[in-house]
Amino acid sequence: MALRSIEELAGRRVFPGEPLCTVEEFIPGDGVYVDDGLIRAARFGRVEVDMASRRISVKPFSAKPRLPRRGSAVYGIVYAVPREELALVRIFADERMVPYNGFFSGALHIVQVADSPGERSIYDYVKPGDYIRATVMSSTPPFMLSMKKSQDGVVLAYCSVCGAPLYRVPGSPRLVCLHCGNEEDRRVSPLYILTARRKRRHNAGA
Ligand SMILES: [Zn+2]
């Protein structure tokens, strides 16, 4: 008695213990076990049927680790500034903000932020603890990052004085702390998460 046809079995996702076929139909291969004349899956995986040898196996799903793709955007957190012109980034998610299985090392050089940085420091654009969106420039780790695309930049930063999250103020290039009033410079992404209402500079009639 056949449980399922070959067409139904091949490529099927199965759970451990799931009956696949009888020992009369196939020879047990990898990832299966025999129980009272039935071949059952021994692991979660995909059924493979070798018609030549009449062998049935369950292959584990290969958990392909995703890598940041060259040319795509990623999200990361700046964790160190070892030199005035270089920031180190821990990349944690792709451009859809889907997290990777782990972290990837990224490096952001000042020439990948500003066309003519002159005497400026990378600190003028990012600081440790900042969440950034950046574009991947290389195919292997450590990934070289760029923040020159219009969507790239800091997406969330915290106040250097009091640690509160900083807000973007429409019309201003600076970020402000609503808690202590501190203002800070960053390369701010248009995707920056927190926006404050514009401050009133004058009282009516003053
Ligand atoms: Zn503050």
Read off the pLDDT of residues 30-43 as tens digits, 9 standing for 90 and up: 999 999 999 999 98
> How many angstroms is it from 81 CA to the middle of ligand 1?
21
> 54, 27 in Cβ contact below 8 A?
yes
Question: pTM score, two decimals?
Answer: 0.67
Average pLDDT over residues 171-180: 92
Q: Identify the pLDDT of residue 203.
A: 47
Q: Where are the domains of the chain?
A: 6-59, 73-155
> How many angstroms is it from 183 CA to the middle of ligand 1?
8
Compare 170 and 127 and report the one with higher pLDDT. Answer: 127
> How many angstroms is it from 181 CA to the middle of ligand 1?
6
Q: Identify the pLDDT of residue 205.
A: 41
Fold type of domain 73-155: OB fold (Dihydrolipoamide Acetyltransferase, E2P) (2.40.50)
Same fold across 6-59 and 73-155: yes
Average pLDDT over residues 89-101: 90
Residue 159 counted as an annotated binding residue: yes
The tens digit of pLDDT for each residue in 115-125 reads 887 888 999 99
Residue 21 counted as an annotated binding residue: no
Q: Which CATH class is domain 6-59?
A: mainly beta
- Confidence band, pLDDT 50/70/90 cuts, at residue 149: very high
Q: Identify the pLDDT of residue 200.
A: 53
Mean pLDDT of the chain: 90
